[in-house]
Amino acid sequence: MTTETGDMVAFAERCPLGQFSPMHPELLACPYAMNQRLHREAPVYRDPASGIYMISRYDDVVAMAMDHETFSSVMPGVGTGSMAASDPELEAILAEGYPNVSTMLTQDPPLQRRYRKFVDGAFAPASLKALEPFIEATANELIDRFIERGRCEFLEEFGVPLPLTVIASQIGVPLEDLPQLRKWTNAFIGNLSGQLDDAGRKRVARDIVEFQHYFVTRMNERRQQPTDDILSKVVNASIDGEQPLSDAECLSMLSQILVAGNETTASALTEGIWLLIQHPEQYARIRNDPSDAMIQALVEEVLRISSPSANMFRRTTREVEVAGVRIPAESICFARFAAANQDATRFPEPLAFDLDRQNLREHLAFGRGVHHCLGAALSRREMKISFRVILNRLDNLRLAADASPPQFAPNALLHGLTGLEIAFDPVRS
């Protein structure tokens, strides 16, 4: 497990409970001690800074995720792709684009099911099975680019481009446009972070509008000449006589598929390598037994510990009581999936990296209920294939000698490393 700084542990443990904010940037980056304290003392905690109710225990988070009628995903002005204009310059930038529309992640049934069914086929088992050779070839091509150097910046040279290449091919975007997709992904992540200043909000707004205009052009091309990709499925979908989606609806869906389809897997892959480096005994085990069962166990334990989608917004539609705390109607809550995955009542010794856990697949890294991640099966395949290729081709994984220990980026919803500089010994056949 990544070790927190002593200052953060002390702050999380000693600060009076009603005074510290889980939204503090350093606690967002290093939440482990805070999570354990909230489990013990305040499983439902109202953040004094934001007013958000933080729900942290496993059973409570599961119950919350399964009750979409009480805990709604529809929150005007909050969520993926939304941005509140705060000054005339920002308003002018946003006016050049398209309005935010609640679709898959930010909508409730029955409308949420309508949006998801347009793209379900792209993530069906047969479709994902057919993708496996492409995923493996991509993993090997990426390693070919840096293997002779004996080192790489793993996040930027493998963690990001592997899932980004796969989702771009699925959406139907030319691979030469990957740098733009990465820039736009970063813009949406920045929009979700809760850490932007005025200049950052304007920069992100310009990037999001650029994303919108790029994809509207691609969407119009698919309307004229449909192809077999997600983009065509979204813009040309008309199921049971329904009207085709509007441009704004299509853009909302595409932004969610893009970000969810690459950022979370990139984060999990990168933290997975860092966990192996930190735990040489587990690394030795899987090096000696790279069986499908062991690699699958690695995938699940990495997902539990990394939990890239750390928190998700919900809005209460009525007054509700959780763990003895009354939460008023129209309150904003966090379903704290990462904290739930560190609940000792469900996962004994929750901060330990343990490939022998008996309940590995009970983690909530992909959520639960109607909003269980659409791309969960794809992410698992990408991780399993990637780890297998890495174990076959790179040995003695270690932090590069001149590298500082990696750090996590502060983000209200997502959790991931900012980078990982590693060294290794190439495996010679």
Q: Report pLDDT digits (tens) over 150-203.
A: 999 999 999 999 999 999 999 999 999 999 999 999 999 988 888 888 899 999
Tokens at 371, concatenated: 């909003």
pLDDT at 371 over 70: yes
| Third-level CATH fold of 43-402 | Cytochrome p450 (1.10.630)
**pLDDT > 70: percent of the chain:** 94
What residue type is 418 in one-letter code?
T
Q: Say how far apart CA 294 and CA 287 lie, in whole Å.
A: 10
Given this model, what pLDDT does residue 319 score? 98
Distance from C-alpha of 194 to C-alpha of 25, rounded to nearest angstrom? 9
Sheet holding 44-46, edge to edge: 44-46, 53-55, 332-335, 312-316, 71-72
Rg over CA atoms, the chain: 21
Residue 78 has a pLDDT of: 52
pLDDT digits (tens, 9 = 90+) for 308-327: 999 999 999 999 999 999 99
pLDDT score recorded for residue 79: 42
The identity of residue 218, as a single letter, is: R
**How confident is residue 6, by pLDDT bands cut at 50, 70 and 90?**
low
Percent of the chain with pLDDT over 90: 76
Let me know how long the chain is.
429
pLDDT at 123 over 90: no
Q: What is the mean pLDDT of the chain?
A: 91
- Residue 267 above 60 pLDDT? yes
| Residue of 225 and 14 predicted with greater confidence | 225
Q: What is the pLDDT of residue 194?
A: 80
Q: How far apart are CA 170 and CA 123, in angstroms?
A: 10
Residue 122 has pLDDT above 60, yes or no: yes
Q: What is the pLDDT of residues 295-310, one digit of tens each?
A: 999 999 999 999 999 9
290: pLDDT strictly greater than 90:
yes
pTM, two decimals, is 0.93
pLDDT in tens, 22-79: 888 888 998 999 999 999 999 999 999 899 999 999 999 999 999 999 999 998 755 4
Looking only at Cα atoms, what is the longest distance across the chain? Answer: 63
- The domains of the chain are located at 43-402
Residue of 374 and 237 predicted with greater confidence = 374
The pLDDT of residue 81 is 39
Closest CA to 381 of 268, 259, 271: 268
At CB < 8 A and 24+ separation, what contacts does 368-373 make?
368/61, 368/62, 368/65, 368/66, 369/65, 369/66, 369/67, 369/68, 370/68, 370/108, 370/109, 370/112, 370/113, 371/65, 371/68, 371/73, 371/105, 371/112, 371/312, 373/260, 373/264, 373/309
Residue-level pLDDT at 192 = 83
For residue 240 the two structure tokens come to 């049971």
For residue 426, pLDDT over 50 is answered with yes
Mean pLDDT over 357-384 rounds to 95
Average pLDDT over residues 7-26: 80
Backbone phi, then psi, for 160, in 5-degree steps? -75, -55
Characterize 94-132 residue by residue with b for buried, 16 or more Cβ atoms within 10 angstroms of its Cβ, and e for exposed: beebbebbbbbbbbbeeebebbbebbeebbeeeebeebe
Is the pLDDT assigned to residue 241 strictly greater than 80? no
Inform me whether the pLDDT recorded for 82 exceeds 50.
Answer: no
pLDDT of residue 121: 81
Q: Which of 360, 323, 314, 306 is nearest to 57 (CA)?
A: 323
